[in-house]
Structure 1
Amino acid sequence: MKIDWDNLGFSYMKTPFRYVSRWKDGKWDEGALTEENTITLHEGSSALHYGQQCFEGLKAYRRKDGGINLFRTDQNSQRMNRSAARLMMPAIPEDKFIDAVKQVVLANEEFVPPYESGGTLYLRPLLIGVGEGIGVKPAPEYIFTVFCMPVGAYFKGGLTPTNFVVSDYDRAAPFGTGAVKVGGNYAASLQPGHEAHEKNFSDCIYLDPATHTKIEEVGSANFFGITKDGKFITPVSPSILPSITKYSLLYLAKERLGLVAEESDVRLDELDKFSEAGACGTAAVISPIGGIQNKDDFHVFYSETEVGPVTQQLYKELTGIQFGDVEAPEGWIIKVS
């Protein structure tokens, strides 16, 4: 297969191998690579009827020397197990999770984009409840799979600010499943996201479901802001999915940039205290926010066309670590090859 590495999008592409393991009678099997990219499910599977499923997203990065890095894979494993526990699914041992990811990367090594392209190999671990059933209860069996595809750099021309709009919809209920990575959260976000796109915004801003006064998430990403007095602030809430990118940026803001870095409330009526803002997550790493539309008010941060200096520094530091150009904190990088 001939791939135009410089023009990759973010879409599905079949690669030769994926990993599949099954849980039955209280234990996981050994798991193995397969070339089959379809899954046959019993019609009574709880994943289909009751949403008993969760997933993860992570990337493999080609280094300048040709080797391959994985970034904080242990954190993806731990987050998937928190999601699994919330939905009463079996945990996947961390060593099994990491080994599955490594196997998939090595088996599809030719699909890891070259360093110069800025692309990555996106990996999707997935855990679903399957088997015969119809009552609202945990499934009798489970499938854990990891598949992958090459994806391009999210920003073709570098970082570019975009605008977002505050949504009237709630992303998650208080004390619901907002803090875990389950499919239902994303299905519920499709309509608000579609309406935001129709109004020419990149996506919507979700407020806290209890009071609708504080920012929680930006589409399917976490929010962060840089205050005018040099603090890195990101929202705190039991309804927010704990982004691995966000916690990495919190660490780097404090340890590498010397900023005060904290999780705290981000009130919608206090946006004036921020000089820069952005959304962060695995896909885009950082999406700079130019402005936020809230009913009749449009608030601009640093600029609608230029990226703030702190946001640029954070992006450069984090991507430098991921691609092996900047020294990583201990334990953040696994060298696959």
Structure 2
Amino acid sequence: MILKDGAACLRNLIHLFRPAASSLTSKLGACYFCTSHVASLQQPGKPSVFSSDDEYADLDWDNLGFSIKPADYMYTMKCSKHENFKQGQLSRYANIELSPSAAVLNYGQGVYEGTKAYRTEDGRILLFRPDLNASRMKIGAERMCMPSPSVDQFVDAVKQIALANKRWVPPPGKGTLYIRPLLIGSGPVLGLGPAPEYTFLAYASPVGNYFKEGSAPLNLYIEEEFVRAAPGGAGGVKAISNYAPVLKALIRAKSRGFSDVLYLDSVNRKNVEEVSSCNIFVVKGNVISTPATNGTILEGITRRSVIEIARDYGYQVEERVIPVDELINADQVFCTGTAVVVAPVGSITYQNKRVEFKTGSRSVYQELYSTLVGIQTGVIEDKKGWTVEV
């Protein structure tokens, strides 16, 4: 009873001073102790006693954009090298403590995932194929010499984050709750080698459209100076070290008015690979082509789902090498990714020549987008078993 009353008092305090909640949690050692130990008493899949009863967080749901707006809770679990992850726990979203010599800070030993929670018209919360995110993290962790959570542990963590942060899941049609699972080498190292300790954590943020254009067609720039990945590297896994190197090309392209950068292969500089943050598809007649995932291209979960949906609709889908000249002669082009969903490409600029593509309501991308989002949000019956209700 004392614990329950104390938790209620702290909950009310945090509610009254919500703008400073994170500061209170970090500065008041007793509060942090209480929060951590109460959270550890929860059953798996149950939110902390500090969960708000409010149906929605106080946000401008019509103008979310794609920027961090931290939800209330994050999930954390740790393990040592050569051990397995144990049961983790929810805690308030807050800064984490790392050694200056942590492997992730010094050598970039880390992988991450991105998935979303969707609110249906009848109020349910759905996840989309989180088991595939878990499997992809395991593959990436192995490449980066890291232990990883089991598929069940990963999915359970994502479920807990979605449930505990339910009030941050946008209303239907207003956006999604983006969930970021992260696996890092948190233990200290000096000489180059795997970390002695690893941390898995997951946090969430409500988001709207990834691109500032919203649903408008994208304008891509084909990069010829920089490459994203090379054979034998880690381009095919979601390593954190893959993303900072593309910033220079991306910033330069955006300063020229482009939406994003499309990269070519590092060997011949003639074949299409992927965009900075998503996969690319080329449409010619009834044939939809996308670059094969040969080790330099990330095997996107949205990519995989769109391929299956397209084949259900009778399209011939090919995963193969796509020369840039073939791309330029396409009828339609679109991108896919967890963040971007399915986004039309209106133009591509290559060697100072701009080529435009068909877009609009009758485009192939629109058909695939409507079906995919319909399944994700419960509007279309999920006959494939892709969605998981929280």
TM value normalised by structure 2: 0.82
Q: Secondary structure at the match of 1:125?
A: strand
The more displaced of 294-303 and 75-84 is 294-303
Matches of 1:310 and 1:267, distance apart in 2: 21
Are 2:172 and 1:115 aligned?
yes
How well do the aligned residues superpose, as a CA RMSD in angstroms? 1.6
Partner Cα separation in structure 1 for residue 239 and residue 75 of structure 2: 20
Q: How far off is 1:158 after superposition?
A: 6.5
Alignment partner of 2:92 out of 35, 39, 44: 35
Conserved? CA contact 1:172–1:209, under 8 Å: yes
| Cα offset, 1:173, TM superposition | 1.6
What displacement does 1:330 show? Answer: 2.4
Which position in structure 1 is the counterpart of 2:23? none
Task: Give 1:154 shift.
Answer: 4.3
| Alignment of 1:299 onto 2:355 | yes
Secondary structure of 1:115's match? coil
Structure-2 separation of matches of 1:197 and 1:132: 37
Counterpart mapping for 1:16-95 below 5 A? 16-24=72-80, 26-95=83-152
Q: Encode CA deviations 1:220-240: one digit per residue, 9 max, x unaligned.
A: 110001112x11111113200
Displacement of 1:198: 1.2
Q: Structure 1: how far apart are the matches of 2:327 and 2:110?
A: 36
Following the alignment from structure 1 to structure 2, what is the Cα–Cα distance between the partners of residues 238 and 154? 26
Deviations 1:99-148 (A, max 9, x none): 0000111111111111142x100000000002222111100000000000
Tell me what 1:246 maps to.
303
2:279 is paired with a residue whose SS is: strand
| C-alpha contact (below 8 Å) 2:71/2:165 kept by paired residues | yes
Determine whether 1:235 maps to 2:291. Answer: yes
Larger radius of gyration: 2
Residue of structure 1 equivalent to 2:192: 136
CA 190–156 in structure 1, closer or farther in 2 if over 3 Å, else same:
closer
In the alignment, the residues of structure 1 paired with residue 367 and residue 86 of structure 2 have an alpha-carbon distance, to the nearest angstrom, of: 45
Q: CA deviation at 1:153?
A: 3.9
Q: Are 1:175 and 2:236 matched, yes or no?
A: no
Aligned length: 331
Secondary structure of the 1:128 match is: strand
Q: Which amino acid aligns with 1:186?
A: Y
The answer to whether residue 387 in structure 2 is matched with residue 333 in structure 1 is yes
Task: Give the superposition deviation at 1:296.
Answer: 2.6
Task: Assess, with a 3 A threshold, how the Cα gap between structure 1 residues 80 and 193 changes in structure 2: closer, same or farther.
Answer: same
In the TM superposition, 1:129-208 aligns within 5 A as: 129-154=185-210, 159-168=215-224, 169-208=226-265
Deviation at 1:316, TM superposition (A): 0.5
- The 3 A distance-change label for structure 1 pair 30 and 295 is same
> What's 1:316 paired with?
370
Query: Contact (CA 8 Å) 1:77, 1:97: kept in 2 or not?
Result: yes
Partner Cα separation in structure 2 for residue 125 and residue 296 of structure 1 = 39
For 1:76 and 1:206, locate their aligned partners in 2 and report how far apart those are by CA, in whole Å. Answer: 24
Code of the residue aligned with 1:149 in structure 2: it is S
Return the offset for 1:271.
2.5
1:287-311 CA distance string (max 9 Å, x none): 21111111132222215xx465211
Matches within 5 A, 1:200-219: 200-219=257-276
Specify the code of the residue in structure 2 equivalent to 1:63.
T
Change (3 A) 1:157 1:326: farther
The C-alpha deviation readout for 1:14-51, integer Å capped at 9, x for no partner, is: 22111000012613221100114211011211100100
1:315 Cα shift?
A: 0.7
Match of 2:68 among 8, 12, 33: 12
Is the 2:70–2:93 contact (alpha carbons within 8 Å) kept by the matching residues of 1? Answer: no
The amino acid across from 2:355 in the alignment is H
Could you give the per-residue CA deviations for residues 52-91 of structure 1, whole angstroms, max 9, x where no partner exists? 0010000000011100110010110011111100000002
Query: Aligned pair in 2 of structure 1 residues 156, 329: CA closer, same or farther (>3 Å)?
Result: farther
Partners in 2 of 1:271 and 1:36 — Cα distance? Answer: 44
Q: Partner letter of residue 9 of structure 1?
A: G
Give the whole-Å Cα distance in 1 for the aligned partners of 2:127 and 2:339: 14
Distance 1:276 1:185 in 2: 28
Give the distance between the partners of 1:37 and 1:266, measured in 2 at CA.
Answer: 44
- One-letter amino acid of the counterpart of residue 21, structure 1: M
One-letter identity of the residue aligned with 1:224: F
Q: Summarize deviations over 1:266-303 as a string: whole Å, max 9, x none.
A: 11111254211011101110121111111132222215
Structure 1 residue matching 2:67: 3-state secondary structure: coil
Specify every segment of 5 or more residues in structure 2 that has no aligned partner in the other structure, as ranges: 1-56
Q: SS where residue 315 of structure 1 aligns?
A: helix
Equivalent position amino acid for 1:142 in 2: Y
Cα distance between partner residues in 1 of 2:260 and 2:232? 24
Counterpart CA distance in 2 for 1:272 and 1:139 is 45
Output the CA distance in 1 between the equivalents of 2:328 and 2:274: 18
Structure 2: distance between partners of 1:140 and 1:329: 44
1:258 Cα shift? Answer: 1.1
Alpha carbons of structure 1 residues 214 and 202: separation in structure 2 relative to 1, 3 Å = same
TM-score, scaled to structure 1: 0.94
2:340 is aligned to 284
CA distance in 1, matches of 2:188, 2:240: 21
Q: Choose which of 87, 98, 106 in structure 1 pairs with 2:155.
A: 98
Structure 1 unaligned segments of length 5 or more: list them. none
Please name the residue that 2:25 is paired with. none
Higher strand share: 1
